[in-house]
Amino acid sequence: MEYTDFLEYLSFVNVDVVAILGVECVGNVFWDYRARVGLACAVPLLIVLLSFVLYHVHARGVHERTIRDKTVRAAAVEYMYDMVDTDQSEEIDVDEFAALMKKNKDDGPRHRTSIVQMMQDLGARQYSSADDVDIDDGGATNVQVIGDHVGKRHDKMGHDEGEWVINKDEFIRAAANGTMSRVIGENWIEMAESNRLRSSFSSGTLLVLFLLHAPVSQRLFYYFVCHNVGNCDPAAGEDECRPFLKVDFKMECGKGVHKGFAPFVWVMLFFFTFLLPTSVGIKLFMNRHRLYSVIIKSKLGFLYAPFNHGAEFW
């Protein structure tokens, strides 16, 4: 899609509410291009405010929903599993399960043997290199093993031979039948749902803000596009050539109301047009090696989802 077509697609942001409502006829001098800029800038601010309010409304009922609503509970359990499974192997090992325990506020430090025992209670099994078997076209099996000794890293899953692991189905089943609550308590489910809500609202808000970024920034930049009127010959006097705002010839550039409203436009240009994409870009760069981890992907994944893996910044 061409950039101009994209701006046209989001032209609803640039709808001239001032002209539609006819408020210019009221006589107030503010109902010029300044009002159009102000209304355009109000849209992203209202989006952020609305998202903030809705998040806190939903966050207040997290405890009750995780207890009563099985769908919410299942979504929270699955989210937590994906967040802890940092290597995306679809299996949680001992170190990853220990990280889950650290996230549980009421759970103190535990020894590795205690962690393994808890995993066994939840249905964990010992990893074996024979679990990863490739079947070729002729029906033969090729077991890929690196090294012959227990403790060597496996090429495909990254787990140690004989290491205790638990897959997603076992994890969700343990949460559904109550085993999870008996083993590690209930607080982590509420925490997972809170994190899921926060991630969902932040990514949704960012998505809307980036959709509004181009058309709102366009209106801000137009505030400084002026057109000279009069005799603009260099030899002529200063009063013979006067710059007026191209989108609103009632406003003379650099003077009066145009000059007085300019600081607001500069602030919006800095924070919304420049700082928003720059801060997100810096965050992506700092996490460039973790773009496909669940935490980063759940918040910013919509920005690079259409691009090829490994070439996102291109």
Q: Are strands 125-126 and 133-135 parallel, antiparallel or unpaired?
A: unpaired
**H or E stretch including 135?**
strand 133-135
| Greatest extent of the chain over all pairs of C-alpha atoms, in Å | 92
Q: Give the whole-angstrom CA distance, residue 119 versus residue 103.
A: 16
- Bridge partners of 126, per DSSP, are 164
Q: For 240-281, how does the pLDDT look when each residue is reduced to its tens digit (9 = 90+)?
A: 778 888 988 888 888 888 899 999 999 999 999 999 999 988
Over residues 104-158, the pLDDT tens digits come to: 655 555 678 888 888 888 888 887 655 554 444 444 444 333 333 333 444 444 5
Tokens of 298: 């759940």
Strand-pair partners of 25: none
CA distance 137 to 226: 70
pLDDT of 170:
85
Say which residue, 239 or 262, is predicted with more confidence. Answer: 262
Model-level pTM? 0.66
Regarding predicted confidence, which is higher, 211 or 156?
Answer: 211
Between the alpha carbon of residue 90 and those of residues 149, 167, 170, 181, 225, the distances in Å are 24, 6, 11, 22, 55
Calculate the alpha carbon distances from 151 to 4, 98, 128, 166, 187 in Å: 57, 19, 11, 18, 34
Q: Which residue bears the tokens 């997100």? A: 280
Integer CA distances (angstroms), 17 to 39, 188, 218, 268, in order: 8, 48, 17, 20
Taking only the tens place, the pLDDT of each residue in 170-185 is: 888 888 787 877 877 7
Instruction: Evaluate if residue 39 carries a pLDDT over 60.
Output: yes
* Lookup: tokens for 266: 């500069």
Cα–Cα distance for residue pair 247/226, rounded to 1 Å: 8
Phi, psi of 245 (to 5 degrees): -65, 125
